[in-house]
Amino acid sequence: MSMNIGETARSSGVSAKMIRHYEEIGLIPKANRTDSGYRQYNGNDVHTLRFIRQARNLGFSIRQIEELLGLWRNQRRPSRKVKALALAHVEELDARIRELEAMKQTLQELAAHCHGDERPECPILDGLAAPGTVADPGAARRDVPRRLARAPKRASCH
């Protein structure tokens, strides 16, 4: 069965724009074209696009998805390669979660120092303007109050 790009997008859950992008970067093969130039896809293409969508939903990068697609298509692949790729991604996710938790903690600490009233002074803005207060996700967050105390105070926004 042959489908145009709109039908393929609906069936796969991947937008037509992303289907074109995946073609352009070589993640999926170039689609066959009708005599009038319209792209044509089949069930295998839809299956591949669903695979890509689900991998993207799990946070895999395009490079990782290329590797996963190669493994998926290779019926003789050792599953240990797939598992290693998945576990490496879990480690990346764990690192990202730690970074996000540190960002959250910093924002909570900055917000705790802000009166949130009519005063123009704002420790949140001062913290964002001060070098090294919040930009480094690897920095120790417990020093935020001390660094805020040293941050120059601004009476108004720029």
Ordered mean pLDDT values, 10 residues apiece, the chain (158 residues): 96 98 96 95 97 98 98 96 98 98 93 92 89 61 55 49
Give the pLDDT confidence score for residue 87 in this predicted structure: 98
Q: What is the CA 83 to chain-centroid distance, rounded? A: 21
Give the pLDDT confidence score for residue 1 in this predicted structure: 83
Give the pLDDT confidence score for residue 2 in this predicted structure: 94
Strand partners of residue 33:
39
Give the pLDDT confidence score for residue 157 in this predicted structure: 44
Detail the DSSP E strand segments found in 37-150: 39-40
pTM of the full structure = 0.76
The residue type at 95: A
Helix (H) or strand (E) holding 19: helix 16-24
